[in-house]
């Protein structure tokens, strides 16, 4: 039996080596040949816009100047978000933008390990303050179409690399919020807020939750999830996304321009 298992492993290893010869490693973003699998080519690498300090203490919006102490941006001072802190690995631009789109709409789940490494790096300052990692849920209809939730795959990878337990289905999505352009901003905010539900508040009460999503567009989805989690008694709600849209002006409260999530 043991020798059969070994033979199987040997066959698989040989097969992987053979595939590397037949299919040389490709850049995760553009498909050009690279030296090792799971990497970006030099051109795509140089196009990445990493986010980090200095940034808004709360929403993570990048600052051009380091104020020498933690400060909030104007938007967070004017209307503090329901979440405590949000951080993102990258600005939502190519090549990350095309990678996220390939993941969601072309089933490129092979991108997850590489993307998750960057997400873990961005989550660094938040992970020590988290009891649970949980994804922003997809609407069940969308989940049936796509068959996977990219945020859940990223959250699971983050849980594995950090050791912080993963909680699935902590937040439920009960409404699709795509077409709400006809609503007033306030009605839109309420619509998004009511699109989520916490079924088991006892799993949330007193816990520090780290929410995971692929892209922060307007912040409305994270705001709605955080509002629901805080209402259910969460002690802290932080959020980490792979990328975020960087707008020169204040964050709007509309989610209508969000990419299909």
- Residues lying near Zn ion in the complex (CB under 5 A) are found at 27, 29-30, 32, 41, 44, 56, 58-59, 61, 73, 76
In the structure encoding, which two tokens stand for residue 63, read together? 């600052």
DSSP alpha helix (H) spans, 57-195: 74-78, 96-105, 112-127, 140-146, 150-162, 185-193
Nearer to Zn ion, 112 or 143 (CB): 112
Q: How far is the CB of 15 from Zn ion (least distance, A)?
A: 26
Nearer to Zn ion, 40 or 215 (CB): 40
Q: How far is the CB of 55 from Zn ion (least distance, A)?
A: 8
Nearer to Zn ion, 103 or 198 (CB): 103
Q: CA-to-CA distance for 221 and 86, rounded, in angstroms?
A: 12
Q: CA-to-CA distance for 245 and 105, rounded, in angstroms?
A: 19
Q: How far is the CB of 208 from Zn ion (least distance, A)?
A: 20
Nearer to Zn ion, 41 or 220 (CB): 41
Q: How far is the CB of 16 from Zn ion (least distance, A)?
A: 23
Q: How far is the CB of 138 from Zn ion (least distance, A)?
A: 26
Per-residue CA distances from 5 to 1, 8, 123 (Å): 6, 5, 39
- β-pair type (196-197, 172-173): antiparallel
Q: CA-to-CA distance for 172 and 112, rounded, in angstroms?
A: 23
Q: CA-to-CA distance for 157 and 216, rounded, in angstroms?
A: 19
Nearer to Zn ion, 58 or 134 (CB): 58
Q: How far is the CB of 37 from Zn ion (least distance, A)?
A: 13
Q: CA-to-CA distance for 150 and 131, rounded, in angstroms?
A: 21
Fill in the DSSP letter of residue 146: H
Nearer to Zn ion, 125 or 161 (CB): 125
């Amino acid at each position: 039996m043991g020798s059969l298992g070994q033979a199987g492993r040997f066959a698989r290893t040989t097969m992987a080596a053979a595939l590397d010869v037949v299919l040389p490693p490709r850049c995760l973003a553009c498909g050009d040949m690279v030296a090792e699998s799971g990497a970006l080519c030099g051109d795509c690498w140089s196009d990445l816009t990493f986010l980090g300090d200095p940034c808004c203490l709360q929403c993570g919006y990048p600052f051009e100047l380091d104020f020498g102490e933690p400060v909030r941006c104007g938007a967070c001072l004017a209307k503090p978000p329901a979440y405590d802190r949000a951080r993102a690995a990258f600005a939502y631009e190519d090549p990350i933008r095309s990678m996220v789109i390939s993941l969601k709409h072309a089933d490129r789940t092979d991108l997850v390990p590489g993307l998750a490494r960057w997400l873990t790096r961005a989550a660094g300052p938040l992970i020590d303050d988290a009891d649970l990692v949980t994804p922003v849920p997809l609407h069940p209809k969308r989940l049936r179409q796509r068959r996977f939730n990219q945020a859940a795959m990223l959250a699971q990878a983050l849980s594995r690399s950090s050791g912080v337990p993963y909680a699935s289905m902590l937040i439920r999505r009960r409404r699709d919020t795509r077409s709400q352009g006809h609503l007033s901003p306030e009605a839109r905010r309420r619509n998004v807020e009511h699109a989520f539900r916490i079924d088991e508040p006892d799993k949330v009460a007193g816990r520090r939750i780290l929410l995971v999503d692929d892209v922060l567009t307007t912040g409305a989805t994270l705001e709605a999830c955080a509002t629901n989690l805080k209402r259910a008694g969460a002690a802290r709600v932080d959020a980490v996304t792979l990328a975020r849209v960087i707008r020169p002006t204040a964050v709007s409260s509309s989610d209508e321009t969000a990419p299909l999530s």
